[in-house]
Amino acid sequence: GAVVSQHPSRVICKSGTSVKIECRSLDFQATTMFWYRQFPKQSLMLMATSNEGSKATYEQGVEKDKFLINHASLTLSTLTVTSAHPEDSSFYICSAPPQIAVGNEQFFGPGTRLTVL
Protein backbone atom coordinates (compact mmCIF):
# COMPACT_ATOMS: atom_id res chain seq x y z
CA GLY A 1 0.00 0.00 0.00
CA ALA A 2 0.86 3.65 -0.16
CA VAL A 3 3.16 5.10 2.49
CA VAL A 4 2.45 8.07 4.72
CA SER A 5 5.08 9.36 7.12
CA GLN A 6 4.86 11.68 10.09
CA HIS A 7 7.54 13.67 11.83
CA PRO A 8 8.34 13.76 14.65
CA SER A 9 7.15 10.48 16.08
CA ARG A 10 7.33 11.79 19.61
CA VAL A 11 7.67 15.26 21.06
CA ILE A 12 7.78 16.63 24.59
CA CYS A 13 7.42 20.36 25.02
CA LYS A 14 6.82 22.97 27.69
CA SER A 15 3.45 24.57 28.16
CA GLY A 16 3.06 27.67 26.01
CA THR A 17 5.30 26.58 23.17
CA SER A 18 4.19 25.70 19.64
CA VAL A 19 4.76 22.34 18.03
CA LYS A 20 4.71 21.53 14.33
CA ILE A 21 3.88 18.06 13.06
CA GLU A 22 4.50 17.07 9.44
CA CYS A 23 2.55 14.56 7.39
CA ARG A 24 3.98 13.40 4.07
CA SER A 25 2.69 11.09 1.39
CA LEU A 26 5.84 9.40 0.15
CA ASP A 27 4.84 7.69 -3.07
CA PHE A 28 1.63 9.37 -4.12
CA GLN A 29 0.03 12.78 -4.30
CA ALA A 30 -2.78 13.79 -1.98
CA THR A 31 -4.83 16.91 -2.52
CA THR A 32 -6.58 16.15 0.75
CA MET A 33 -5.20 14.93 4.04
CA PHE A 34 -6.98 14.35 7.33
CA TRP A 35 -5.81 15.07 10.86
CA TYR A 36 -7.06 13.01 13.80
CA ARG A 37 -6.35 12.95 17.49
CA GLN A 38 -6.64 9.91 19.66
CA PHE A 39 -6.81 9.88 23.44
CA PRO A 40 -5.68 6.76 25.33
CA LYS A 41 -7.94 3.78 24.78
CA GLN A 42 -10.27 5.79 22.61
CA SER A 43 -11.16 5.96 18.96
CA LEU A 44 -9.88 8.47 16.44
CA MET A 45 -11.53 11.86 16.39
CA LEU A 46 -11.34 13.80 13.15
CA MET A 47 -10.01 17.29 13.78
CA ALA A 48 -9.78 18.79 10.32
CA THR A 49 -9.51 18.20 6.61
CA SER A 50 -6.43 19.70 5.00
CA ASN A 51 -6.85 20.87 1.41
CA GLU A 52 -3.95 21.66 -0.89
CA GLY A 53 -4.16 25.23 -2.09
CA SER A 54 -7.06 26.26 0.11
CA LYS A 55 -8.08 26.61 3.73
CA ALA A 56 -8.54 23.62 5.98
CA THR A 57 -11.99 22.54 7.06
CA TYR A 58 -12.30 22.11 10.82
CA GLU A 59 -14.70 19.84 12.66
CA GLN A 60 -17.10 21.31 15.14
CA GLY A 61 -15.43 22.13 18.42
CA VAL A 62 -11.88 22.26 17.04
CA GLU A 63 -10.24 25.68 17.40
CA LYS A 64 -8.75 26.72 14.09
CA ASP A 65 -6.49 29.31 15.72
CA LYS A 66 -5.12 26.67 18.07
CA PHE A 67 -4.52 23.99 15.48
CA LEU A 68 -3.05 25.63 12.39
CA ILE A 69 -3.03 23.53 9.25
CA ASN A 70 -1.04 24.25 6.13
CA HIS A 71 -1.18 22.02 3.07
CA ALA A 72 1.93 23.34 1.36
CA SER A 73 2.17 20.86 -1.50
CA LEU A 74 0.57 17.73 -2.89
CA THR A 75 2.69 15.61 -0.58
CA LEU A 76 2.94 17.65 2.63
CA SER A 77 0.51 18.87 5.26
CA THR A 78 1.55 20.38 8.60
CA LEU A 79 -0.35 20.71 11.86
CA THR A 80 0.91 23.32 14.30
CA VAL A 81 -0.36 23.17 17.86
CA THR A 82 0.02 26.75 19.05
CA SER A 83 0.56 27.68 22.70
CA ALA A 84 0.30 24.06 23.70
CA HIS A 85 -1.09 23.13 27.10
CA PRO A 86 -1.15 19.80 28.97
CA GLU A 87 -4.69 19.08 27.76
CA ASP A 88 -3.34 19.07 24.19
CA SER A 89 -1.26 16.01 25.03
CA SER A 90 -2.49 13.29 22.72
CA PHE A 91 -1.65 11.03 19.81
CA TYR A 92 -2.02 12.88 16.52
CA ILE A 93 -2.45 10.84 13.35
CA CYS A 94 -2.75 11.97 9.76
CA SER A 95 -4.18 10.11 6.80
CA ALA A 96 -4.19 10.62 3.08
CA PRO A 97 -6.32 9.12 0.34
CA PRO A 98 -4.48 8.63 -2.96
CA GLN A 99 -6.05 10.57 -5.80
CA ILE A 100 -6.84 7.29 -7.46
CA ALA A 101 -7.94 4.66 -4.95
CA VAL A 102 -9.97 1.62 -5.85
CA GLY A 103 -11.78 1.41 -2.53
CA ASN A 104 -11.48 5.07 -1.54
CA GLU A 105 -9.11 3.82 1.13
CA GLN A 106 -6.99 6.11 3.24
CA PHE A 107 -3.47 5.42 4.39
CA PHE A 108 -2.39 6.48 7.82
CA GLY A 109 0.83 7.86 9.17
CA PRO A 110 2.47 6.21 12.18
CA GLY A 111 1.28 8.98 14.50
CA THR A 112 2.94 11.62 16.67
CA ARG A 113 2.81 11.37 20.44
CA LEU A 114 2.68 14.90 21.91
CA THR A 115 3.32 15.40 25.60
CA VAL A 116 2.97 18.92 26.99
CA LEU A 117 4.53 19.46 30.40
Partner 1 sequence: GEDVEQSLFLSVREGDSSVINCTYTDSSSTYLYWYKQEPGAGLQLLTYIFSNMDMKQDQRLTVLLNKKDKHLSLRIADTQTGDSAIYFCAEGYTGTASKLTFGTGTRLQVTL
Q: Smallest distance from the beta carbon of 17 to partner 1, in angstroms?
A: 23
Candidate segments 61-69, 73-81, 82-90, 96-104, binder of partner 1 by CB under 8 A: 96-104
Q: Does 61 bind partner 1 (CB under 8 A)?
A: no
Build a one-symbol-per-residue string for 39-58: x at contacts with partner 1 by CB under 8 A, - elsewhere.
---xxx-x--x---------
Which residue in the set 20, 22, 31, 58 belongs to the binding site for partner 1 (CB under 8 A)?
Answer: 31
Residue by residue, what is the 3-state secondary structure of the chain? CCCEEEECCEEEECCCCCEEEEEEECCCCCCEEEEEEECCCCCEEEEEEEECCCCCEECCCCCCCCEEEEEEECCEEEEEECCCCHHHCEEEEEEECCCCCCCCCCEECCCEEEEEC
